[in-house]
Amino acid sequence: MKTIADAQIWATQLLTEAGVDRAARESEILLADCMRADRIYLMARPERVMDRESWEQFQGWLERRAQREPLAYITGKRWFYGLELTVAPGALIPRPETELLVECFLNWQSTKPFPLVHNGNLTEGVHQETPCLLDAGTGSGCIAIACLLNAPRWQGIGIDSSSDALKIARLNRERYGLSKRLELRRARWLETMEPHSIDALLSNPPYVRYEEWETLEPEVRDWEPLDALVADRQDPLRAYRELIEGAKHALKPEGLIAFEVGVSTAQEVAQIMATRGFTPQVEHDLQGLPRVLWSIAP
């Protein structure tokens, strides 16, 4: 039987040989998860002998990781905006840069006066509808869930064309007790939306160009859903065009439209927004790259 220290040395070597970056750190995360312990425990008790069940699970996980399956698909979870979310191969793994889209929404909604609230109750005689956000291409549900948990007056709709993604989104919705506030719907972009029915449209659509996708790390290229990641081959801006057209129809006046973009698409998406009457503003990620484009509907 192996000690924690032996297991870690073995795993780090295996992952290094498989070409995994940060092999020691990943070994530690996988080992801690198998042992249902935290990393501090591993550091404090390197001499402890692993029980058979944990060791077998660890070996299985290591084999998968050595095939370059993403860590998050193996452990089944990923942190996003301070929330631990369930992830699985049917949906994109939430990325840290997508948190900027959540922040963009939260900043904007904090400046909105609705609904009128007085001492925690709706002001008497004043009727205000609950504002509604739409997360188009919701995947794991990460954007909608992070927004709703931080904007308690809002409700939301998450749409996705993939029923596998929606299953994962449902798990996350239940996990955070949002079944009454978040509707999940199978649809293509904004096709099913009523006119002027939403106050904010958020989306992280597939924007990686096919040529770029071929050069990505195996974790992304070989394991994450192509439909969630790669833009239309003939018309890479198609998703944005459909979303912007849909927004003209579904968004209320002065509503928010906000998209995640890639470096290679930011300029062109801004142009499409501008030609459809929006005034795009850009937010940069921590690497200084354009990552979110947003605008208020006229």
- In the complex, the residues that contact ligand GLN under the rule CB under 6 A are 95, 204-208, 220, 229, 260
Closer to ligand GLN by CB, 158 or 205: give it: 205
Of the candidates 220, 206, 211, 214, the residue with the CA atom closest to the CA atom of residue 21: 220
Closer to ligand GLN by CB, 95 or 241: give it: 95
Closer to ligand GLN by CB, 187 or 226: give it: 226
Least distance (Å) between residue 163 CB and ligand GLN:
19
Give the whole-angstrom CA distance, residue 240 versus residue 235.
10
Of the candidates 210, 211, 214, 200, the residue with the CA atom closest to the CA atom of residue 258: 200
Closer to ligand GLN by CB, 62 or 133: give it: 133
Collapsed DSSP state (helix, strand, coil) of residue 212: helix
Least distance (Å) between residue 267 CB and ligand GLN:
17
Least distance (Å) between residue 231 CB and ligand GLN:
7
Give the whole-angstrom CA distance, residue 258 versus residue 247.
10
CB 183 within 8 A of CB 156: yes
**What type of residue is 88?**
A
Least distance (Å) between residue 92 CB and ligand GLN:
6
Of the candidates 201, 274, 188, the residue with the CA atom closest to the CA atom of residue 232: 188
As a dihedral over the C-alpha atoms of residue 240, residue 287, residue 99, residue 276, rounded to 10 degrees, the angle is -20
The two structure tokens encoding residue 100: 């900027």
Cβ-based neighbour number of residue 15 at 10 Å: 23
Closer to ligand GLN by CB, 6 or 69: give it: 69
Least distance (Å) between residue 207 CB and ligand GLN:
5
CB 81 within 8 A of CB 40: no
Least distance (Å) between residue 145 CB and ligand GLN:
17
Closer to ligand GLN by CB, 59 or 264: give it: 264
Least distance (Å) between residue 195 CB and ligand GLN:
27
Give the whole-angstrom CA distance, residue 179 versus residue 170.
8
Alpha carbon of 90 to those of 132, 168, 209: distances in Å? Answer: 26, 7, 20
Of the candidates 32, 24, 69, the residue with the CA atom closest to the CA atom of residue 223: 69
Closer to ligand GLN by CB, 115 or 225: give it: 225
